[in-house]
Chains A and B, each alone.
Chain A
Amino acid sequence: MTAVTAERPEAAAPAPGPRALVRTVLLVHRSALWFWAMLVAVGAGCMLWATGPGADAAWAEYRAMGCFSDQPSLGCDMPGLAAGRYDTVASFGSAILGLTPFLAAAWAGGVLVGRELENGTARLAWTQSVTPARWLAAKLALPAVLLTGGTLLLTLLHRVMWASDGRLWATIGSRQWYQSYVFEANGTLATAYALLGLAVGALAGLLLGRTVSALGTAVVALAALLSALSWLRPFLWPARTLVAEDGYPPYPGPVVDEGAVTATGARVADPLCGDSARCLADTGVTGYYRDYHPSAHFWPLQLVETGIVLALTAAATLAAFRMLRRRLP
């Protein structure tokens, strides 16, 4: 053994190199990576079909039903078969983006980390020539890159679908830009949440070290974070205000707050006076306001939330590495 070690400088680059680590992660987790590739392909296929032939068929049907005019006509509330098909396929495309963070969390918690700790294969890796920290880094980096690539591609296609079929969606569907699954799928949030899922899963795996409990905890924790953030979402950017004197102003977008205003401009709870002038005079209400987000707030809202989600992702990743260090010398 002297002959072997003496020639080898101890301070050489850490072995194995990043490429070997990537190849190892590909080798060990290839079925999951194939599944992700398949999911992206299905999602992309759905959205491409919906954008092209699906939308054309829905329009043709709409015209054939005699509904096509500038105003949606009352008799055309019931969508036809082609419109239904369009709706299903387009929703499925969005759903894949919405589901990806949960799949990532379940997989990272259960398979990527939890199972390896439970059945000892993590120890197998740590007794090769790779330090545990590099092992975890490789196991997080490759899935992160593939998740980012896949979700960005799907987001791009979703934006194309949204842009080209906007009128169709407004006509036959009831989708709005601010609905969660549209909002997330049309911007950077789908990617950010997928990465958060990966990090939360890895942290749960390292905390619990068991496949099933880590999987469950990761999914529940991600769901809690997601619902907290979507509750917080309207407050992430200053809303615009509309004020009207005769009743409430129109409904131009997602409403953050609404109520009555007095002559001094103070906001008060709506006294529910109706048309009663006496009631209005008694309460001093001179008009009504609505705080809302116009569609121009899409990107500011999107980017602020993305920043928060990425910060949470970084924190979870850091915590995961800390947990690993606590487990090991």
Chain B
Amino acid sequence: MTETAIEAAALGRSFGRRRRPALDGCAFRLPAGSVCALVGPNGAGKSTLLALAAGLLPVGEGALTVLGGTPAAARERVGYVAQDKPLHPHLTVGETLRFGRELNPRRWDARAAERVVDEGALDRGTKIRALSGGRRTLVALALALGKRPELLLLDEPMADLDPLARHRLTATLMADAAEHGTTVVMSSHVVAELDGCCDHLLLLGAGRVRLAGPLDDLLAAHRLVTGRADASLAPHTVVESRTTGRQLTALVRPEGPLGEDVQSAAPTLEELVLAHLRAPHAAALRLGGTREVAV
């Protein structure tokens, strides 16, 4: 078993010299078997990171290890669904599955693929171009799951799905991950989509890692505090604070017991992420065996 699914060290990637790098000095480690939410605002580098891990882009700087080797060497063991869910529009659903079977002869699991297709009650004879966006997503996911990957990289998988399909798909992915120990990395800019199905979080902002680690540990490392506007938050690290009238709301990383003049509560995933998105200059935090790299 590969202990580490993905490990990045000082990973950077630019598109063009004049533009800001899409990824800049990223370092994190994702243990095998985890289900990781890859979160960040538009343009944070989520898609670039996933494409790099899928072996579709050359690594610019630093190193990226996927399943113990280079991304290109791991090609056969990695499933990837791109953001725009590319499929051959003139093939039928059945032919698209055949495409997957032919190109993954040693791994193809027809049942896993059929299960996803059946979830959408898709007719095998329907052409891909006649399908709605959500159903096309299901076919793309069926292709990725049929490959029986050890690492599944999903770029905005839920974007086109209705809430019910989203729910079902999450259940399928979780069942698959639990049954086969698949590592799943799922990107989204809608945090609510990912709540309840992920055990790891990787938050990117402007090409850098903002938060990385096991979700529970990250949540436990933060407190959402409220108090009077003049309450002192020293010596704790304040990620973000807002005052409304005389009321102060802040997300802090406590360095010890919080003072008695404030009330505190555990943040939700959404609160954690939103606070970090609103405060782009807050210090990065990596937990869980990641080598600390100065940001």
A174 CB–B CB distance under 8 Å: no
Q: How distant is A34 from chain B, measured CB to nearest CB, in Å?
A: 12
Q: Does B107 contact A (CB under 8 A)?
A: yes
Measured in the bound complex, the distance between the Cα atoms of B128 and A121 in whole Å is 13
Which residues of chain B are within 8 angstroms of A121 by Cβ–Cβ distance? 86-88
Residue from the list A2, A4, A16, A119 in contact with B104, Cβ < 8 A: A16
Q: Which residue from B58, B88, B103 sits with its C-beta under 8 Å from A328? A: B58
A113-130 residues with Cβ-Cβ distance < 8 A to B are 119-121, 123-130
Contact yes or no, A129 B107, CB < 8 A: yes
B157 within 8 A of A: no
A8 at the interface (CB under 8 A from B): yes
Q: Does A23 contact B (CB under 8 A)?
A: yes
A79–B103 CA distance with the chains assembled, in angstroms: 58
Binary CB contact string for chain A from 117 to 152 against chain B (1 if under 8 A, 0 otherwise): 001110111111111000000000000000000000
Is B71 close to A, CB under 8 A? yes
How far does the alpha carbon of A17 sit from the alpha carbon of B101 in the complex, in Å? Answer: 12
Are A17 and B182 in touch, CB under 8 angstroms? no
Tell whether A276 is near chain B: CB-to-CB under 8 Å: no
- A128 adjacent to B100 (CB under 8 Å): yes
Cα A327 to Cα B57 with chains together (Å): 7
Q: Please pick, from A31, A128, A327, the residue contacting B103 in the complex, using a CB distance under 8 A.
A: A128
Q: Does A302 contact B (CB under 8 A)?
A: no
Bound together, the chains give a CA A237 to CA B97 distance in angstroms of 55
B88: chain A residues within 8 A (beta carbon): 28, 121, 124
Q: Kindly state whether residue A1 has any CB partner on chain B within 8 Å.
A: yes
B150 to chain A, nearest CB (A): 4
A273 contacts partner chain B, Cβ-Cβ < 8 Å: no
A129 with B56: in contact, given A16-B104, A24-B102, A24-B103 (CB under 8 Å)?
A: no
List B contacts of A23 (CB < 8 A).
102
A38 at the interface (CB under 8 A from B): no
Bound complex: CA A275 to CA B4 (Å):
96
- Which residue of B55, B105, B147 is within 8 Å of A17 (Cβ)? B105
Is B82 located at the chain interface by the 8 A CB criterion? yes
Binary contact readout B43-56 vs A (1 if CB under 8 angstroms, 0 otherwise):
00000000100111
Determine, out of B18-26, B72-80, B255-263, the stretch whose residues face the partner at the interface: B72-80
Give the nearest-CB partner of B54 in chain A.
A127
- Asked whether, in the complex, the Cβ of B91 is within 8 Å of the Cβ of A27, the reply is yes
Q: Report if A328-B102 is in contact (Cβ < 8 Å); known contacts: A2-B181, A129-B76.
A: no
**Known contacts A119-B86, A120-B82, A328-B58; is-contact A126 B75 (Cβ 8 Å):** yes
A-chain residues with CB within 8 Å of residue B105 when the two chains form the complex:
15-17, 20, 129
B149's nearest neighbour on chain A, judged by CB, is A1
In whole angstroms, what is the CA distance A28 to B95 when docked? 9
A128 cross-chain contacts in B, Cβ below 8 A? 100, 103-104, 147
Assembled-state Cα–Cα distance A217/B98 (Å) = 33
B285 on the A face (CB < 8 A): no
Please name the residue on chain B nearest to A124 by beta carbon. B86
**Which residues of A have CB within 8 Å of B91?**
27-28
Cβ–Cβ < 8 Å partners of A329 in chain B: 55, 57-59, 70-72
Partner of A120, one of B86, B106, B143, B148: B86
Whether A15 contacts B86 by the Cβ 8 Å rule is no
The answer to whether A227 has its CB under 8 Å from any CB of chain B is: no
Contact indicator A328/B55 (Cβ below 8 Å):
yes
Query: Residues of A contacting B147 with CB < 8 Å?
Result: 128-129
Residue B281, interface by CB 8 Å: no
| B180 is an interface residue with CB less than 8 A from chain A | yes
Q: Of all chain B residues, which has the CB nearest A23?
A: B102
A264 interface contact, C-beta 8 A: no
A28–B58 Cα distance when bound, in Å, is 27
Asked if B1 is at the interface of the complex by the 8 Å CB criterion, the answer is yes
Does B84 have its Cβ within 8 Å of any Cβ on chain A? yes
Smallest distance from the beta carbon of A135 to chain B beta carbons, Å? 9
Contacts A1-B1, A121-B87 given; indicate if A24 touches B99 (C-beta within 8 A).
yes
Collect the chain B residues with CB atoms within 8 Å of residue A71's CB: none
For A1-18 the 0/1 string (1 means CB < 8 A from B) is 110110010001001110
A71-127 interface (Cβ within 8 A of B): 119-121, 123-127
Q: Which chain B residues (96-122) contact chain A, with CB distance < 8 Å?
A: 98-100, 102-107
Determine if A16 and B103 form an interchain contact, defined as CB atoms under 8 angstroms apart: yes
Mask: chain B, 105-145; 1 = CB below 8 Å from A; 0 = not: 11100000000000000000000000000000000000110
Do A127 and B80 have beta carbons less than 8 Å apart?
yes
Nearest Cβ on chain B to A312's Cβ, whole angstroms: 29
Using known A-B contacts A1-B180, A16-B103, determine if residue A127 contacts B75 with beta carbons closer than 8 Å.
yes
Q: Is A5 in contact with B150, judged by CB distance below 8 angstroms?
A: yes
Report chain A residues within 8 Å CB of B86: 119-121, 123-124
User: Please, which residues of chain B bring their CB within 8 A of the CB of A17?
Assistant: 105
Decide if B58 touches A5 in the complex (CB within 8 Å). Answer: no
18 new A-B contacts, CB < 8 A, other than A24-B103, A127-B54, are A4-B148, A5-B77, A15-B107, A21-B102, A23-B102, A27-B95, A28-B91, A28-B99, A120-B86, A121-B88, A123-B51, A123-B54, A124-B87, A124-B88, A126-B75, A129-B75, A129-B106, A329-B70
User: What 4 pairs between A and B have smallest CB-CB spacing?
Assistant: A120-B86, A128-B103, A127-B80, A129-B76
Would you give 18 A-B contacts (Cβ < 8 Å), ordered by A?
A1-B182, A4-B148, A15-B76, A15-B104, A23-B102, A24-B103, A27-B102, A123-B51, A124-B143, A125-B103, A127-B75, A129-B104, A129-B147, A131-B72, A329-B58, A329-B59, A329-B70, A329-B72
